[in-house]
């Protein structure tokens, strides 16, 4: 396989049989695993272009251009997953994060925090650093620690600054989205679920939709 020219990311995504996956894909208008185009709810349709491109997920290792061969990156993803044990995650709730609507954990999860940290650290050798202009753009408005994160890890919101969230909207001032999402996701938000796999998403070229290319089971 030649060197991979796009970007790859490691995400949390619900299992295919989880109602949350079906509802999340429907909300964003596409299934990134099958490529199926779906019809989002009428009230959300005009506000989802950015999260729809990335697919329904919570970020563990942010999107990065891969150094070297994609096979080597996948080997390290699988080696990491082999060392991990499934765990139960807290229930989810709909919140506003700044101007975004998102699904967030209803309680802290040290296990999730640790998982995200391991993904960032263990897989970082495969990340091609961004150029100085891109780093400056990322650093605008960030705290000193987040700027250090950008310089070391390529992204501001890692380790202590990481927060689980599954983005449901663009940055918009629309308070109705929260209530609509609460109703839309209600059946899934009542469920408990286990985290038992890493999901690898790829962007084959700049601006392309991210696709879920492989689910890697723990253990």
pLDDT of 173 over the 90 cut:
no
**In a domain? residue 1:** no
Predicted local distance difference test score (pLDDT) of residue 5 = 76
Once rounded to an integer, what is the mean pLDDT over residues 139-165?
97
**In a domain? residue 204:** yes
CA atoms of 216 and 197, how far apart (whole Å): 5
**In a domain? residue 210:** yes
Predicted local distance difference test score (pLDDT) of residue 8 = 97
Residue 201 · residue 66 · CB < 8 Å: no
**In a domain? residue 190:** yes
Domain range holding 19? 7-217
Of 81, 30, 19, 102, whose CA–CA distance to 214 is shortest?
A: 81
Burial 93-130 (b: 16+ CB within 10 A, else e): ebbeeeebbbbbbeeebebbbebbeebbebbeebbeeb
pLDDT in tens, 20-35: 999 999 999 999 999 9
List the CATH number of the domain containing 83.
3.90.1140.10
CB atoms under 10 Å from CB of 73, counted, come to 21
pLDDT in tens, 81-133: 999 999 999 999 999 999 999 999 999 999 999 999 999 999 999 999 999 99
**In a domain? residue 161:** yes
Share of the chain above pLDDT 90, in %: 93
């Amino acid at each position: 396989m030649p060197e991979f020219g796009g970007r790859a990311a490691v995400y949390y995504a619900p299992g295919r049989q989880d109602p949350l996956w079906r509802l999340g894909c429907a909300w964003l208008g596409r299934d990134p695993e099958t490529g199926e185009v779906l019809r989002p709810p009428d009230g959300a349709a005009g506000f989802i272009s950015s999260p729809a491109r990335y697919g329904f997920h919570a970020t563990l290792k942010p999107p990065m251009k891969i150094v070297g061969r994609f096979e080597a990156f996948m080997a390290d993803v699988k080696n990491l997953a082999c060392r991990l044990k499934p765990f139960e995650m807290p229930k989810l709730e709909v919140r506003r994060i700044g101007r975004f609507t998102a699904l967030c954990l209803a309680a802290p999860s040290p296990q999730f925090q640790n998982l995200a940290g391991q993904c960032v650290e263990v897989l970082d050798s495969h990340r091609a650093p961004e150029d100085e202009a891109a780093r400056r753009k990322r650093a605008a408005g960030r705290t000193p620690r987040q700027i250090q994160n950008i310089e070391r890890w390529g992204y501001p919101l890692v380790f202590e600054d990481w927060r689980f969230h599954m983005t449901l909207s663009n940055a918009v001032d629309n308070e109705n989205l929260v209530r609509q999402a609460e109703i839309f996701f209600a059946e899934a938000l009542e469920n408990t679920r286990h985290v038992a796999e890493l999901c690898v998403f790829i962007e084959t070229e700049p601006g392309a939709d991210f696709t879920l290319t492989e689910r890697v089971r723990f253990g």
